[in-house]
Amino acid sequence: MDNLTAAESELPFDGAAQRRVELALSAALSGKSLAGQVRPVVLDSWSRSVQAGVSVHLKQAPLVWNDDQLHFAREHSDWFPAAQQTLARQRDDHLAGGHVITLFDSHGRMLLSEGDPAAREGLSEMNFRPGAQWSEDRVGTNGPGTALALGRPVHVVGAEHFCEKWHPWHCAAAPVRDPSTGEIVAVVDISGFREMGHPHTLRLSSAIAAAIEQRLAVLDAERRVLLLQQFAQLAGRWPGEAMLAVDRAGSVVASSHDLPAGLSGDPGRERLRALLARAAAHAQDRGPEEVTMPVSADLVAVCRPIFDGRAHAGSCLVLRPSHPKPQRAHHHNTHYTLEDVVGVSQKVTRARETARAAARTALPVLLSGESGTGKEVFAQGIHAASPRAAKRFVGVNCASLSRELVESEFFGYVGGAFSGARREGSIGKFEAADGGTLFLDEIAELSGEAQAALLRALQEGEVVPVGGNHARPIDVRVIAATNRDIHACLSAGTLREDLFHRLNVLAIQLPPLRERLEDLPLLAERFLRDAEQEQGRAPRPLDPELLAALQLWRWPGNVRELKNVMRRLVALAQGETLTLADAPEELRGGPVAPEPASAKPETHAEPHENAALKRLVDTVASAQTMTEAAALLGVTRSTLYRQLARFGLRPERILRKQ
């Protein structure tokens, strides 16, 4: 046994050593002293097994998972794919015949078993197979269970097992630790026929565990990069606020300002640790939903969990005073800033970044998007972030202007210019917005004559009031918006090309809500809190089933419709939680029949539900795992399972079609 450690050289592989261990176990059960007759690690494990009430005559380990539960556990263990890939390679390269390689979670429940068919068949008789629990308190001394109990690699040989049924086997197990938290997340075990065992088996299982930890460390580094990227993006949403990026282990990896006084000193550090623990628990329970949590009497934290699609990468925390928020300072009749543009989806992030860039210039902006997507919020936000914020923001709904009076509305008129005109005359919208911003909503609704007059004013930088003879210079920044298909309007001639090119200097496309559903939980939470404050109601949570239903709706009215739904929920719901029963009837569509085995799902649902069902099925079918599908849909895994269950679908039936 050259090059073996002392512990490895003590392993009782030969027959004589096994008989001594058998006698020692019998003596131990009789209460006799065994000093020097058996390894201390084994003797201590026997003692724990007796205290746990394990019987030496136990024939099988308990099965604690059925197939569905096992599938769910694999899907919800973020470390499992990395471990599975590592085991597959090591099994093919190093595992000798007569052995199986197995993977357990931190509670001793087996997730995976691969290796020699004969060994697997023999081990299955005692339920050494996926779905069974092999913790030391359930089945006595054994490799994976004792490794978990001690938190270190362990090799158990033959009669060293507490239960007689396990004596024909040996097992070498090593824990796998999360590189970020240091906690045990899994155990790798190599088991086989005792007579084919070798002391080096423990070294192999330890090497495999180390290889898995290396893979997890790479994933952890990628998550930290993602966390820092999200931190940089969200910092623009909370300018001037103290902000932290915290990894999964609760360590601060970035900050924008010094910590507030409430988190300084020993009491503050304890408070911060408690806050980070609550943030981690929230992320596990509610996924990527943003939440506001109290820190102290004068401090709250806005917590934004960050996910990489498979696991919690960390959280970004904004630390703010907890006193009531003062009324927003209006910038000459504006009510919104770009901080009111809620969302982390790619399309919204791109639109918000373009708007911030536009605010630094005086160039014309053209906003396009369906009704209810927030065009006026963007327009006011651009004005409020611009050097013109101290001047007026004047909004004009072009669709509401009468064809006959549109020019007087734009350019004003002199006294007596037409019947019904005021004697002293009136300035128009251009002059009212002089030095500031003029927002022309629904620009494509203007008549051709009005568009020509508007184009002339923009080109010349001056206006002539109706009935007047003298031009008046103007300094106006124009933001235009439309919910029409611009190219269709150009083709039909309802929008002048020269006016379009004059306005289309900085174009911003606002996505409909159905194309940014990953933002829906954030928007719902924001509108819910606004509605509660508006109506003087106490905060209440959204039931997950209600949130799942909201994510299935097509939202023809977009963000405006969602805001109104939240206001209705707050006004009418009577319980302590807002549930699906409180939602408008059209959002509560009932479940449909389960999917036939040989056909695509057929439903009698409304059109928006058919579209939602198709989106669910297509996304899950295109993904490798349910975790990946949840990331693509912008929801948590538990929400995705509920959505599939609502349509009577089982995820494994869709995934297996690939």
* HEC per residue, 590-619: CCCCCCCCCCCCCCCCCHHHHHHHHHHHHH
pLDDT (tens digit, 9 = 90+) per residue, 277-293?
Answer: 777 776 666 656 667 77
pLDDT (tens digit, 9 = 90+) per residue, 299-319?
Answer: 777 777 777 765 777 888 888
**Per-residue pLDDT, 650:** 63
Pull the structure tokens for residue 608.
Answer: 């928006």
Q: Which long-range contacts (CB under 8 A, 24 or more apart) does 281-288 make?
A: 283/307, 283/312, 283/315, 284/312, 286/636, 287/521, 287/635, 287/636, 287/637, 287/638, 287/639, 288/518, 288/521, 288/634, 288/636
Pairing relationship of beta strands 99-105 and 472-473 according to DSSP bridges: unpaired
Q: CB count, 10 Å around CB of 313? A: 25
Reply yes or no on whether the pLDDT at 29 is more than 60.
yes
pLDDT (tens digit, 9 = 90+) per residue, 443-498?
Answer: 998 988 889 989 999 998 998 888 778 888 999 999 999 999 988 889 888 899 99
Q: CB count, 10 Å around CB of 336? A: 21
For residue 150, which phi and psi values (nearest 5 degrees)?
A: -95, -20
Could you give the strand order of the β-sheet that contains 393-397, starting from the edge strand earlier in sequence?
393-397, 437-441, 477-482, 365-368, 506-509
Q: Where are the beta strands (DSSP E) in 431-562?
A: 437-441, 462-463, 472-473, 477-482, 506-509
Bridge partners, 329 (sequence order): none
Q: CB count, 10 Å around CB of 346? A: 11
Helix axes 520-535, 544-552, angle to 10 degrees: 120
- Of 122-131, 176-185, 242-251, 406-415, which one has max mean pLDDT? 122-131
The rounded percent of the chain whose pLDDT value lies above 70 is: 79
Pull the structure tokens for residue 250.
Answer: 């609760």
pLDDT (tens digit, 9 = 90+) per residue, 173-187?
Answer: 999 998 888 899 999
Reply yes or no on whether the pLDDT at 413 is more than 90.
no
- Of 84-88, 343-347, 383-387, 593-597, which one has max mean pLDDT? 383-387
**Per-residue pLDDT, 562:** 94
pLDDT (tens digit, 9 = 90+) per residue, 377-389?
Answer: 999 999 999 999 9
**Per-residue pLDDT, 174:** 97
Q: Of 120-124, 536-540, 641-645, 652-656, which range is least confident?
A: 652-656
pLDDT (tens digit, 9 = 90+) per residue, 347-383?
Answer: 999 999 999 999 999 999 999 999 999 999 999 999 9
Bridge partners, 105 (sequence order): 186
Q: What's the mean pLDDT when you consider all of the chain?
A: 82
Averaged pLDDT for residues 415-443: 78
Q: Of 13-22, 331-340, 377-386, which range is least confident?
A: 331-340
Averaged pLDDT for residues 572-591: 81
Predicted TM-score (pTM) above 0.75? no
Reply yes or no on whether the pLDDT at 35 is more than 80.
no
Q: Is the separation of the CB atoms in 487 and 495 below 8 Å?
A: no
d(CA 246, CA 479): 39
